């Protein structure tokens, strides 16, 4: 028998693999087993190895480049990525509809909308050139994003090439209109399926590592990871919902897409093999839209991804053009946000937790109740003042809420259901762990256990020391720390470096292999940069950023310990509070002794961070002090800080009369109020973006 033509078999395999990827990752309906899928992939890998000339960039074997990326270059979006206005209830939905109808001049006639689920992930812009995926970029500041192409290529729901003809999905409406030639930008959302999130956190738990908070943050963190191989393992997925524009390959004038309605564009995208969330619905008028919103506020828990609302878009693309955009949002769309999920339950007891700094925080032990996908048995109560203000008592029936589906909080007690014997709660007079008296500074709300040898404080401090952003000792998590402290094998940070495989033998869930791994991790942590060590020591008010700043400027542990308060204050961004705290730490003989033992164990006491460039900051915002508060939609706090610092601004943590601007995102709290009280200029997100963009 003649050997099959490799070119033909390769293209057949690629087609088959793409088909099965689509069945599995997009349609959720696999037709073959995982083993059969792997067999196809391996056959293709072998053939491509034998015929390297036939390897193509859009072959499914090319998803993981395996090559770490060096930082991410920034790239400009074809058209800025705007955000969406919000509607929180029926009334606001109707107001949106009124505005659309008025602008459209349709009188009382209904406008057609498309309602889509709002995916709680991070937005992504995908560029296809003649049907080939050439770029994936994050939203960034809306104008420029980060080029994360190697990571995007690992996401199996995102096709490396668009299918030229029609296929499964809803092809009828676009018969004869294949994937476009030229350049086209597709917008969508990358997310982490709940199942992948659960799997990742299970692995983290097994490794004794801190858990990820929610799928969205994990997805965002993963997308910005510099190792595509790790990204591939995390199991990200994506949905696409918009064709922005296509650009003729020759010129760069933005052309409009050849569809009349949004529904048609979704169908077209689907027919090219792009993942389109399938529950979207065309609605005739706002009443149908409202019904869709009510329906999904309930049903959303059945989905394998988090959705925080419904996006409502005018269907008619010509009408969209007429409506246009404001500086911030398109006028043709809005996001209906699902109400925070609430439930009633009973407070069994109010207890307190002792943290590593000795801070004692109350929490409510609840009668378990199922809310928004998980059973809740505990809720934070923040601080004693908050408990008193809300007057939450043991035995109360309370309203609890999961805002943003993360940490549950107690909203208020239901007074009508209060048992007659319930008494106001008071902070215990003594630490529940070591029994020493609790104290509170006059101007602080936090109560503290001041006993540095309190077992709870020691446990939490050791967990912090070993945590990922501190000394990063993988495997040294809560349960192991607990065992080591209980058996008095470890009393302080320096004792960690005396741990051997023998010490670990006989501890629960600690086989020879895990013990060897942990000892290796401990050894490795000795060569960490001193910035990690400074943070790990848990000096009050010294967070990750202050630790890095101190390391950069002082270079060695000796210089840090010997610096006077005045010298510390000359370090940029180090104020009197941090300076005093570092000095107090250094003045304590126990701490000096601890550092001496760490040094003796071989822990590195110097930094590799680049030396600071001298002089005052320069740039268009030099001399300006900015405070950030609340959550920004277009960038993280770190990105905003970096952008400001690049322009020479100083970013401060608290508002004073010296503050130039307070930038506020959503859920801004007391800092915004304080700014208003002091008459400090406040900037919303758009004004902030304008400020940094105009100065760049």
Catalytic site positions: 118
Q: Note whether 296 binds ligand IVH by CB under 6 A.
A: no
Binding-site size, ligand IVH (CB under 6 A): 14
Instruction: Report, in Å, the least distance between residue 437 CB and ligand IVH.
Output: 49
CB of 142 to ligand IVH, least distance (A): 9
- The rounded distance, in Å, linking the Cα atoms of 165 and 151 is 27
Query: Hey, is 140 helix, strand or coil?
Result: coil
- Min dist CB 124 to ligand IVH, Å, is 8
Q: Give me the least distance between CB of 138 and ligand IVH, in Å please.
A: 10
Position 84 contacts ligand IVH (CB under 6 A): yes
Is there binding between residue 330 and ligand IVH (CB under 6 A)? yes
Q: 398-433: string of b/e by CB count within 10 Å (b at 16+)?
A: bebbbeebeebbbbebeeeeeeeebeebebeeebeb
Q: How far is the CB of 318 from ligand IVH (least distance, A)?
A: 18
Q: Which of residues 24-53 bind ligand IVH (CB under 6 A)?
A: none
Do the strands 397-402 and 341-354 form a parallel or antiparallel pair, or are they unpaired? antiparallel
Asked if residue 274 binds ligand IVH (CB under 6 A), the reply is no
User: Does position 123 bind ligand IVH by CB under 6 A?
Assistant: yes
C-beta atoms surrounding 2 within 10 Å: 4
The answer to whether 382 and 361 are in contact (CB under 8 A) is yes
Residue from 116, 146, 147, 396 touching ligand IVH (CB under 6 A): that is 116
CB 82 within 8 A of CB 329: yes
- Min dist. Cβ of residue 252 to ligand IVH (A): 21
Residue 560 as a binder of ligand IVH (CB under 6 A): the answer is no
Query: Applying CB under 6 A, which part among 116-124, 446-454, 521-529, 531-539 lies near ligand IVH?
Result: 116-124
Q: In terms of CB distance, is 84 or 647 closer to ligand IVH?
A: 84
Binding mask 382-421 for ligand IVH (x = CB under 6 A): ----------------------------------------
Q: Is 636 in the site for ligand IVH (CB under 6 A)?
A: no
Characterize the bridge pairing of strands 237-247 and 254-255: antiparallel
* Nearest-angstrom CA–CA distance, 443 and 466: 32
Part in contact with ligand IVH (CB under 6 A); list of ranges 44-52, 263-271, 330-338, 364-372: 330-338
Instruction: Specify the pairing of strand 86-87 against strand 254-255.
Output: unpaired
Q: Which of residues 165-204 bind ligand IVH (CB under 6 A)?
A: 189
β-partners of residue 370 are 375
Binding mask 221-260 for ligand IVH (x = CB under 6 A): --------------------xx------------------
The residue among 119 and 247 lying less far from ligand IVH, judged by its C-beta, is 119
The minimum distance between CB 116 and ligand IVH, in angstroms, equals 4
Distance separating alpha carbons of residues 315 and 84, to the nearest angstrom: 16
Query: Which one, 83 or 353, has the nearer CB to ligand IVH?
Result: 83
Question: Tokens 């052309």 sit at which residue?
Answer: 255
Region binding ligand IVH by CB under 6 A among candidate stretches 113-121, 251-259, 356-364, 445-453: 113-121
C-alpha to C-alpha distance for 531 and 539, rounded to whole angstroms = 12
Nearest residue by C-beta to ligand IVH?
A: 123
Sole binder of ligand IVH in the list 17, 100, 119, 200 (CB under 6 A):
119
The set of residues, in sequence order, having a beta carbon less than 8 Å from that of 151 and lying 6+ positions away, is 69, 136, 222, 223, 225, 228, 231
Does residue 82 touch ligand IVH according to CB under 6 A? yes
C-alpha closest to that of 117 among 302, 289, 281, 311: 311
CA 680 to chain centroid: 30
* Contact partners, residue 629, CB within 8 Å, separation at least 6: 662, 663, 664, 665, 668, 669, 671, 672
Residue 118 near ligand IVH by CB under 6 A: yes
SS3 content of the chain, % helix, strand, coil (to 5): 40, 20, 40
d(CA 582, CA 215) in angstroms, rounded, equals 36
Residues that bind ligand IVH (CB under 6 A): 82-84, 116, 118-119, 123, 189, 241-242, 311, 330, 333, 335
């Amino acid at each position: 028998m003649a050997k099959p033509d490799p070119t033909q078999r390769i293209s057949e395999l690629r087609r088959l693999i793409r088909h099965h990827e689509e069945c599995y990752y997009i349609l959720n309906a696999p037709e073959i087993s995982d083993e059969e899928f792997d067999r196809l992939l391996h056959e293709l890998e072998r053939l491509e190895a034998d015929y390297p000339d036939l390897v193509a960039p859009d072959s499914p074997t090319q998803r993981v480049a395996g090559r770490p990326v060096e930082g991410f270059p920034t790239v400009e979006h074809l058209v800025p990525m705007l955000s969406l206005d919000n509607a929180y209830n029926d009334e606001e939905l109707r107001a949106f509809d009124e505005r659309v109808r008025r602008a459209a001049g349709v009188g009382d006639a209904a406008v057609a909308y498309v309602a889509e689920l709002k995916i709680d992930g991070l937005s992504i812009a995908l560029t296809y050139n003649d049907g080939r995926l050439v770029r994936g970029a994050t939203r960034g500041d809306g104008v420029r994003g980060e080029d994360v192409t190697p990571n995007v290529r690992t996401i199996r729901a995102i096709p490396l090439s668009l299918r030229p003809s029609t296929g499964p999905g809803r092809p009828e409406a676009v018969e004869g209109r294949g994937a476009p030639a030229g350049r086209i930008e597709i917008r969508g959302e990358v997310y982490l399926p709940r199942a992948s999130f659960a799997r990742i956190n299970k692995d983290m738990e097994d490794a004794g590592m801190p858990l990820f908070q929610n799928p969205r943050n994990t997805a965002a963190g993963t997308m910005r990871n510099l190792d595509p191989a790790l990204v591939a393992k995390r199991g990200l997925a994506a949905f696409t919902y918009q064709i922005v524009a296509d650009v003729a390959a020759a010129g760069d004038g933005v052309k409009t897409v050849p569809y009349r309605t949004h529904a048609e564009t979704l169908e077209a995208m689907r027919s090219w093999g792009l993942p389109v969330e399938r529950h979207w619905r065309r609605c005739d008028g706002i009443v149908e839209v409202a019904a869709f919103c009510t329906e999904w506020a309930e049903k959303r828990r059945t989905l394998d991804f988090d959705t925080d609302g419904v996006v409502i878009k005018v269907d008619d693309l010509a009408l969209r053009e007429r409506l246009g955009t404001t500086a911030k949002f398109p006028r043709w769309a809005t996001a209906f946000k699902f109400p925070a999920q609430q439930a009633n339950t009973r407070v069994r007891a109010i207890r307190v937790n002792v943290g590593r700094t000795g801070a004692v925080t109350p929490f409510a032990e609840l009668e378990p109740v199922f809310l928004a996908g998980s059973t809740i048995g505990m809720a934070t109560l923040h601080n004693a003042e908050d408990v008193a203000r809300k007057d939450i008592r043991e035995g109360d029936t309370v309203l609890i809420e999961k805002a943003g589906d993360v940490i549950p909080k107690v909203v208020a007690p239901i007074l009508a259901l209060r048992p007659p014997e319930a008494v106001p709660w008071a902070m215990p007079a003594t630490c529940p762990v070591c029994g020493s008296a609790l104290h509170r500074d006059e101007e602080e709300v936090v109560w503290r256990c001041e006993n540095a040898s309190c077992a709870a404080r020691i446990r939490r401090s050791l967990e912090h020391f070993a945590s990922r952003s501190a000394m990063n000792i993988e495997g040294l998590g809560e349960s192991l720390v607990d065992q080591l402290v209980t058996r008095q094998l470890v009393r302080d940070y320096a004792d960690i470096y005396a741990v051997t495989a023998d010490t670990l033998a006989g501890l629960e869930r600690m086989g020879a292999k895990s013990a060897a791994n942990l000892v290796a991790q401990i050894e490795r942590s000795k060569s960490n940069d001193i910035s990690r060590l400074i943070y790990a020591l848990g000096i009050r008010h010294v967070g990750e950023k202050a630790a890095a700043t101190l390391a950069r400027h002082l270079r060695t542990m000796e210089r840090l310990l010997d610096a006077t308060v005045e010298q510390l204050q000359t370090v940029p961004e180090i104020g009197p509070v941090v300076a005093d705290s570092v000095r107090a730490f250094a003045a304590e003989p126990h701490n000096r002794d601890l550092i001496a033992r760490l040094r003796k164990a071989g822990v590195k006491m110097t930094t590799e961070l680049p030396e600071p460039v001298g002089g005052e900051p320069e740039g268009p915002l030099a001399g300006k002090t900015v405070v950030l508060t609340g959550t920004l939609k277009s960038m993280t706090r770190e990105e905003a800080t970096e952008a400001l610092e690049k322009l020479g601004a100083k970013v401060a943590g608290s508002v004073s009369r010296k503050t130039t601007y307070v930038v506020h995102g959503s859920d801004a709290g007391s800092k915004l109020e304080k700014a208003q009280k002091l008459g400090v200029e406040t900037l919303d997100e758009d004004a902030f973006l304008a400020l940094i963009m105009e100065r760049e």
